[in-house]
Amino acid sequence: MSEACDRAALAAPLFDYTLRLADTALILGHRLSEWIGHAPVLEEELALGNIALDLIGEARALYSYAGAVEGKGRDEDALAYRRDAGGFRNLLLAEQPNGDFAATIVRQFLFSAFAQPFWRRLAASRDATLAAIAAKSEKEAAYHLRHAGEWLIRLGDGTEESHRRAQAALDELWPYSGELFERDAVEDRLIAAGIAVDPETLRAEWQRTVSAVLAEATLVAPERAWMQSGGRHGRHSEHLGHLLATMQFLQRAYPGATW
């Protein structure tokens, strides 16, 4: 097959793949931004803000690329603001509510422990744009992982109350960690083309990182958990609808306006 044919054939899975990454980054970034004005410590207002900004930045780069790959003229805002929940492809983990600070930290930790090795691998992608985005995102994810990990240790091994909250958060969010490692036809096509990362190859490292931090945090991962799934295919929790209703309101109320 000619190179042009290859590119055309890969456009659809590449769009889906990139959109999943973009949606996850945006939804998680949006969740973190909800903490502004409510954080437990002033220094943490800034820290969570930084993580949110990193993720929103990643989302913007990914949306722009996805729109270009799709080739229908949709820019970052068209993709972010004018799809309904069924069209979103983010991980379920990202859309879970902030809960208390422990839940936010656990969510971030489970995600970033995956994101860092993921971006590191993706930096070797044959797709130059994804590789460049990945190289930048890896550094960001490394910091998010350190931040969340250090906090998780302090919450787990802090006071009785913080330990209880951290354990409860872990129990609640663990069932969303399975989706991190899902692989479907989209990944299959792109892995064969040297573009995407096989998430299964990241499981061992993720497990090691998670186990080490949980041990130091004196927390216990649930033994068996039925893993939730569906985000990557547009089947979301009830939370996403409300999140999007807030996020997209102005664009929906004033269609066609420039902001």
Partner 1 sequence: MYTQGLLHGKDEDRGGPEPAEKLARFQERIDAEEKIEPNDWMPGAYRRTLIRMISQHAHSEIVGMLPEGNWITRAPSLRRKAALLAKVQDEGGHGLYLYAAAETLGVTREELVEQLLAGKAKYSSIFNYPSLSWADIGAIGWLVDGAAIMNQIPLCRCSYGPYARAMIRICKEESFHQRQGFEIMLTLCRGTPEQKAMAQDALDRWWWPSLMMFGPSDAQSQHSDASLRWKIKRFSNDELRQKFVDATVPQGHFLGLTFPDPELSFDDAAGHWRFGAIDWDEFRNVLAGNGPCNRQRMTQRQAAHERGAWVRAAAIAYGEKRRLREAAE
Partner 2 sequence: MSEVPMPLWEVFIRARNGLAHKHVGSVHAADAAMALQAARDVYTRRGEGLSIWVVPSTAITASDPAEKDMMFEPTASKIYRHPTFYKVPEDVGSM
* Using rule CB under 8 A, residue 239 touches partner 2: no
Q: How many residues bind partner 1 (CB under 8 A)?
A: 49
* Using rule CB under 8 A, residue 7 touches partner 2: no
Q: Which residue has the tokens 């929906």?
A: 252
Distance CA 153, CA 239 (A): 28
Q: What's the burial of 28, exposed, middle or buried (CB within 10 Å: 0-12/13-18/19+)?
A: buried
Distance CA 47, CA 144 (A): 9
Q: Which two tokens stand for residue 176?
A: 């969303």
Distance CA 53, CA 29 (A): 7
**Minimal CA–CA distance to 182: which of 7, 11, 17, 23?**
17
Shortest CB 248 distance to partner 2, Å = 28
Cβ contact 32:104 at 8 Å: yes
In degrees rounded to 5, what are phi and psi of residue 214?
Answer: -60, -40
**Minimal CA–CA distance to 69: which of 114, 133, 135, 2?**
133
* Using rule CB under 8 A, residue 253 touches partner 2: no
Distance CA 19, CA 90 (A): 8
Stretch that binds partner 1, among 117-125, 153-161, 195-203, 226-234 (CB under 8 A): 153-161
* Using rule CB under 8 A, residue 157 touches partner 2: no
* Using rule CB under 8 A, residue 242 touches partner 2: no
* Using rule CB under 8 A, residue 242 touches partner 1: no
Q: Which two tokens stand for residue 159?
A: 């006071």
Stretch that binds partner 1, among 29-37, 91-99, 114-122, 199-207 (CB under 8 A): 29-37
* Using rule CB under 8 A, residue 216 touches partner 2: no
Q: Which of 74, 83, 136, 154 binds partner 2 (CB under 8 A)?
A: 154
* Using rule CB under 8 A, residue 185 touches partner 2: no
First to last CA, the chain: 44
* Using rule CB under 8 A, residue 46 touches partner 2: yes
* Using rule CB under 8 A, residue 38 touches partner 1: yes
Shortest CB 128 distance to partner 2, Å = 25
Q: Which of 20, 107, 121, 147 binds partner 2 (CB under 8 A)?
A: 147
**Minimal CA–CA distance to 79: which of 253, 241, 247?**
247
Q: Which two tokens stand for residue 9?
A: 């054939």
Stretch that binds partner 1, among 7-15, 38-46, 120-128, 196-204 (CB under 8 A): 38-46
* Using rule CB under 8 A, residue 5 touches partner 2: no
Instruction: Summarize as ranges the residues that interact with partner 1 (CB under 8 A).
Output: 26, 30, 33-34, 36-46, 49-50, 52-53, 56-57, 59-60, 63, 76-77, 80-81, 100-101, 153-155, 157-159, 161-162, 165, 246-247, 249-251, 254, 256-259
Instruction: Summarize as ranges the residues that interact with partner 2 (CB under 8 A).
Output: 41-43, 46-47, 50, 143, 146-147, 150, 154
